[in-house]
Chain A
Amino acid sequence: MPLLELKGVTKLFGKLAALEDIDLCVQEGEVLGICGPNGSGKTTLINVISGYYRPNRGTVYLEGKKISGLRPDQVTARGIARTFQSNMCFHRATVLQSMLIGSFLQDKTNEWQAFFETKTYKERRKKIAAEVLETLKLLDLTNEANMPAAGLPHGHQRIFGMAMALMTNPNVLLLDEPTTGMNHNEAVFVVDQIKKINERGITVILIEHNMKVLLDAATRAVVLNFGTKIAEGKPREVMKNHDVIEAYLGTETV
Chain B
Amino acid sequence: MKFGNYRKLLPKIVVGLLIALIFILPVFTTSLVTLSKFVQIGFWAIAAMGFMLIMRTGQISLGQATFMGLGGYTSAVFMVKFGLPFWPGFFMAGIVAGLVALAVGVVAVRAGPIAFSIITLALAEIMRIIAVSWEPVTNGSKGLVITPPTHIMLGNFEINFATSAVPNYYFIVILVAITALIFWQIDRGRLGGIFRVIAVNPTLAEHQGIPLTKFKVLAFTVAAVFTGFAGSFYAHFLGVMSPDMYGLWQSIQALMMGIVGGISSLVAGPIVGAAVLNSLSDILSRLPVYSIKPTLFGAIVLLVLLFLPKGTGLIDLWRIFWSKVYKEKPITTDNTH
Contact = CB atoms under 8 A, between A and B. Distances in A.
Contacts of A82: 207
A92 B337 contact: yes
B108 to A, nearest CB: 17
B191 A164 contact: no
B304 interface: no
A240 interface: no
B207 A89 contact: no
B191 A93 contact: no
Contact of A101 (B186, B208, B218): B208
Given A91-B200, A92-B337, A71 B193 contact: no
A81 B189 CA distance: 25
B210 A89 contact: no
B204 A89 contact: yes
Nearest to B188: A117
A105 B207 contact: no
B185 A104 contact: no
A73 B206 contact: yes
A76 B207 contact: yes
A213 to B, nearest CB: 23
A90 B207 contact: no
Given A111-B218, A115-B186, A77 B209 contact: yes
Interface in A113-133: 114-115, 117
A103 B193 CA distance: 12
Chain B interface size range = 20 to 34
A102 interface: yes
A103 to B, nearest CB: 8
Contacts of B197: 90, 93, 98, 101
B124 interface: no
Given A92-B200, A92-B337, A93-B337, A72 B193 contact: no
Given A93-B337, A111-B218, A72 B194 contact: no
Contacts of B207: 50, 52, 72-73, 76, 81-82, 84, 165
A97 interface: yes
Given A92-B337, A111-B218, A167 B208 contact: yes
Nearest to B185: A115
A168 interface: yes
Given A90-B200, A114-B189, A71 B208 contact: no
A111 to B, nearest CB: 6
Interface residues of A, number: 34
Interface in B186-205: 186, 189-191, 193-194, 196-197, 200-201, 203-205
Contact of A88 (B193, B203, B209, B334): B203
Nearest to B337: A92
A88 B206 contact: no
Contacts of A93: 196-197, 200, 337
A102 B201 CA distance: 12
A100 interface: yes
Q: Which of B208, B209, B210 has the most CB of A within 10 A?
A: B209
B212 interface: yes
A168 B208 contact: yes
A107 interface: yes
Contacts of B210: 73, 104
Nearest to A111: B191
B201 A107 contact: no
B209 A84 contact: no
A64 B309 CA distance: 53
Interface string B160-190: 0000000000000000000000000110011
A220 to B, nearest CB: 25
B204 A114 contact: no
Contacts of A90: 196-197, 200-201, 204-205
A76 B208 contact: yes
Contacts of B191: 111, 114-115
Nearest to B202: A72
30 contacts: A52-B207, A71-B211, A73-B209, A74-B211, A76-B206, A77-B209, A82-B207, A84-B207, A88-B201, A88-B204, A90-B196, A90-B200, A90-B204, A92-B337, A93-B196, A93-B337, A100-B193, A101-B193, A101-B197, A102-B208, A104-B194, A104-B209, A104-B210, A111-B218, A114-B189, A114-B191, A115-B191, A164-B204, A164-B208, A167-B208
Given A90-B205, A101-B194, A114-B189, 8 more contacts: A74-B211, A82-B207, A88-B204, A89-B201, A90-B197, A93-B196, A105-B209, A165-B207
Listed from nearest, the 5 A-B pairs whose CB atoms lie closest are A76-B209, A105-B209, A92-B337, A72-B206, A114-B190
